[in-house]
């Protein structure tokens, strides 16, 4: 398969590209990657799809959003988060389905905070649940036998270490397996991860 990975240089994305390499033709994208894209800019998403034709799969392992309790969040925090992690990935589907090969599959990234809310995750919990709803409903209307799935990663071990959150978390190499499952034939509108 020819697979575009957006966020390929990240903690999860680099584990995903490593898992795919060798078996598949992998094209790596991010704001500074071999293919340049900014998820928050629909024109740059369209330009990416024009530059990388005939894709069998698109895996999004990107998407930023702000942390913090409700009173600390500004209008900008909401606007940036909604425009990036939510609408950036929604626009990947809106624009990508016109370019994806028949039978192709798109996978978006949500996150465990959809199901484990706390006062600091109000934006991420909201966006992750919105993405799960988008995946379930938009999957019913994909053209040309295309499919749409999500991966809901738990906390990543490498991220927990980097952030000083302690010894918990799941290694990125194990989280990459959910992305591989999401592109296997058959599934549509599903979320993959330990919470599903
Ligand atoms: N890490 C965790 O514990 C965890 C848990 C649950 C869910 N998640 C979700 O998983 C996704 C990836 O997390 P991660 O920890 O792997 O992130 P990360 O290590 O910070 O990597 C982010 C990747 O996305 C790219 N990127 C950032 N902003 C972008 C933009 N506007 N347009 C295109 N590419 C962009 C980055 O490269 P450039 O800088 O070159 O653009 C990088 O390749 C996020 O949606 C996150 O919410 C993470």
Q: Kindly report, residue by residue over 50-63, the tens digit of the pLDDT.
A: 999 999 999 999 99
Regions of the chain where pLDDT drops below 50: none
Unique residue bearing structure tokens 């993959």: 192
Total of domains in the chain:
1
> Alpha helices of the chain — where are they, by DSSP H?
11-20, 42-51, 75-81, 87-96, 122-138, 157-163, 172-183
- CB-count exposure of residue 26 (10 Å: 0-12, 13-18, 19+): buried
Residue nearest to atom 25 of ligand 1 (CA): 7
Select from 4, 26, 30, 91 the residue to mutate for testing ligand 1; criterion: most ligand atoms less than 8 Å from CB. Answer: 30
C-alpha to C-alpha distance for 20 and 98, rounded to whole angstroms: 24
| pLDDT attached to residue 176 | 98
The pTM of the full predicted model, rounded to 2 decimals, is 0.98
**61 CA → ligand 1 middle, Å:** 6
Q: In CATH, what number is assigned to the domain containing residue 79?
A: 3.40.50.720
Q: Which residues line ligand 1 (CB under 6 A)?
A: 6-13, 30-33, 37-40, 61-64, 84-85, 109, 111-112, 153, 155-156, 159
**60 CA → ligand 1 middle, Å:** 9
Select from 4, 7, 165, 193 the residue to mutate for testing ligand 1; criterion: most ligand atoms less than 8 Å from CB. Answer: 7
Residue 82 structural domain = 2-192
Do the beta carbons of residue 151 and residue 190 sit within 8 Å? no
| pLDDT attached to residue 181 | 98
C-alpha to C-alpha distance for 97 and 114, rounded to whole angstroms: 25
**Distance from chain centroid for Cα 28:** 14
Do the beta carbons of residue 4 and residue 145 sit within 8 Å? no
| pLDDT attached to residue 38 | 98
Q: Kindly report, residue by residue over 168-180, the tens digit of the pLDDT.
A: 999 999 999 999 9
């Amino acid at each position: 398969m020819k697979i575009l990975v957006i966020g390929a240089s990240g903690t999860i994305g680099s584990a995903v590209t490593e898992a795919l390499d060798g078996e598949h033709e992998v094209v790596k994208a991010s704001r500074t990657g071999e293919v340049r894209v900014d998820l928050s800019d629909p024109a740059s998403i369209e330009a990416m799809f024009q530059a990388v034709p005939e894709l069998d799969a698109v895996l999004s392992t990107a998407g930023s959003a702000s942390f913090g309790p409700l009173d600390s969040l500004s209008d900008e925090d909401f606007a940036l988060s909604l425009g990036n992690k939510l609408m950036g990935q929604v626009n990947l589907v809106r624009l990508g389905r016109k370019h994806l090969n028949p039978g192709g599959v798109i996978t978006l990234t949500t996150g465990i905070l959809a199901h484990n809310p706390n006062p600091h995750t109000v934006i991420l919990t909201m966006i992750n649940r919105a993405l799960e709803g988008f995946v379930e409903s938009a999957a019913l209307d994909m053209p040309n036998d295309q499919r749409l799935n999500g991966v809901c990663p738990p906390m990543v071990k490498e991220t927990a270490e980097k952030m000083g959150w302690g010894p918990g978390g799941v290694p990125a190499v194990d989280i990459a397996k959910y992305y591989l499952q999401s592109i296997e034939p058959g599934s549509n509108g599903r979320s993959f991860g330990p919470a599903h």
